[in-house]
Structure 1
Amino acid sequence: MSQDTPPASPATGRDFYADLMRASQTSRAGFLAERERWLRGVPVEGREELLFEFEMLLRAVERYLNLNTVVDARDRPLVTRDFHEELADVRDAMDRAIRVARHLQDPDSDQKMVFRKYVETQLADDRIRRALIEEELDQETPPESLFVLREAFDALKNLLDHLLKLPVANLGLFQDVGKLALREIVLNRYFRPFRPLEFRVEYDRLRSVRLLDTLSTLSDEQRTLFATCFLGLFRLLHYLAYVDAEGQPPYPRRVRVLLALVRSEANSLASWMHAELSPKAGSKSLQAATLRAARDIARETERVAREVLVNLDRDMEAPSRAAAAFTTLLRTQVVVLVETLAPNGGLADGVFDELMSPQEAALRLRKDLWVYAQLCRTAETHLRAEDVPAAERALDALKSFLEYFHAGGYQLLRYADYDAFDRFTALLVELPWPPEGPGIRARLAEDLRRFVQTLETTFHAVSRRTLLQGRGFDRQEAEALRDRFLSAPAR
């Protein structure tokens, strides 16, 4: 489907990708919704990225303390192995997680919890002290949950500092540290790390116009499967960006932990693609392509582990070589799968950067925001004029546009913008249909007027982006897109 073509079937404006992500975490939906509300109120620049890094480190520590992740079965026997290096790696990852958690913690609430912790140590009355401890461990809010995990990691880090002074860190010691860390991570109420193929609306989004348009042409089942696959691939690339961000060697020890996470989840993704995606992909060519991609990911992951990761202790450049190999592998599979889904898409072989063009994404978002505002103004004008038939046609066009917008432009918004857009979408979708009575129509007209202000503010913010400097707004193209929705038959 062309990026300017309205959706073929009528539907209300729902965010398919948010629904997909929430479906992957249904057992914890309530906690995660509350955490999302908390995050939107955190007054810290880049809060979504900080949360991603924090949960990535939790997941990495959990995986790294699994023997299957850090130990090569062909290496020397476990009973004679010294785990000093691995424990030092874990200690560095925990230290970074603690620092990230402090950035996410509101200073006022953090000070209150620190003071409460101090009071606990000073109380002579065991009943009151016990009540305070239980209140803290209940983790009734995301800040309390974050504080509990941070305190636990602080204690574990201090413990590791002392354990690393021992002459030998044997298998039993390594496993016991793993049990303690795993318990604190898994029992955390709001910050239990994501599982493989479980995604978060806060930071897991597909930002490629070409990819979003390609997915929008698929059947519901295919779209869910391939969206899951692409989200998994981009999650791994997101991990690897943290290895690249460390610059030149010597790399911090936590890089080894992150690479172990990449290896583990790459294997999980390949297994899922082989068992779930390929058999249900659709045509034989799609089944063959997804099966081939799964095998390539599994085979190259094993090669990198066998030839590069085993040399992390001996080769200072090994982390960068491993990250480069994984990045090339994953980018290649993204491009291959997009080209398989849309053979005439015009992508040059292996051109990942073209697929992920931020300029193309900004241009698409700017156009969509303008069209959205125009459709809202049209509906508002007819509502205020009490031209009910025209108002209903304009609102039909607006609701049809929402499906198109959520499949594309909405995914290109910044996280901070989602709340206002989500509230307006909910208002429009839940509105009694058709809106009857002058009172309801007057309130809707006012809601439309206010949301147009939000759309215009966002439009101007996107237009000011550096990458759009010198790129004039194509009003003729935008008007053509608007008119396609306005002229579409009423549903």
Structure 2
Amino acid sequence: VQDSPFFNSLSALEFRPEFDRIQNPQLLQLIRGVTEGQAKRLVALTFLTLFRLLRYVSVIEQRSIEGDLDGRRFVTGTLQFTWAVLRSDARALTQRLSDRARELLADSFDRELSRIPASAISERFPAMLADAHHLRGIRGALEGVAANLRLEMRRVFEHDLPAPDSGATENEIRLRCRAAAAHLRPGLQNSILVLGAALGTRLDEHGVFDDHAERRLMSDRLRRDIWMFAQIVRAFCEKARNAGDHQERWNDASPFAFVGEFLSYFRAMGYPLVRAADYVRLDPFLESLERIRDVDRIDPQRIANAAEEGELFRTYLLELFENIGRRDELQDLPFDRRAAAMALRLYLGSH
């Protein structure tokens, strides 16, 4: 990290070369393969932060277990301190990716484009177009990681963990901290896999998380998220079909407000899912949403197109849900539909 010319660490994260290391050779090669400078910095920043957050989770789990085994008291302060540091680092990453990733990648591409002589534009056009699509995929993955991480933090701190003034006992705090850490771990791991997929590599096939228990947790979380988002897509399709029935009035709210809401859900949950299996109709689906997001009048044809693409996407999600359930690590783990429904209500309430 210290010697890399492509990395400029954020002071808020304070990366240390002796602690913040990525040891998996495939992952290191993947980062080196990102040739564009700003993209490489953002990718390295995201990977390093996500792995650091996973180490925080391990510390929390270990400390809570140690308190149970030897009856050690007064571990609450250590656990709360670790959660506070985890939240601070997660917030620094999400702010960087949400506020700056799009601008940094666009400016970097603009500088590369400006260096091309006018006489070479035609020759370089296919390569630059491919680079633009590649950067667009990286940007989408980074923004998706940020949105998902923000939601995970809200769930942990607003629902899973007891408030400091709740009067919870030491034992209850340890148990809830351990449960919150267990819920957070697969979400962080899946974010790493999603970013790898956006860069063209399936990290789950290269031993990044090769423990059977970890694969089981990640697959179970992925299956749950797919089911949850399929329900969100179904609601979107219903609203899209009914939007054309609204009469335009000056004092009415826009009948298309649900499109912006759905896009925010998609960035936080849907994008990681389509990156996990490369949904082939992703671009037509997003284009159909953009066509009805910012309009001054109702266009029934555009609404119908969006609903049709939504139904195709939902069919894809349900097929993906079945395929994930057939994985070896999930053969003896039935899908808990009630728990998934509760998680969906919590997700919609915290968004």
Q: Fold conserved (TM > 0.5)?
A: no
User: Computing the radius of gyration over CA atoms, which structure comes out larger, 1 or 2?
Assistant: 1
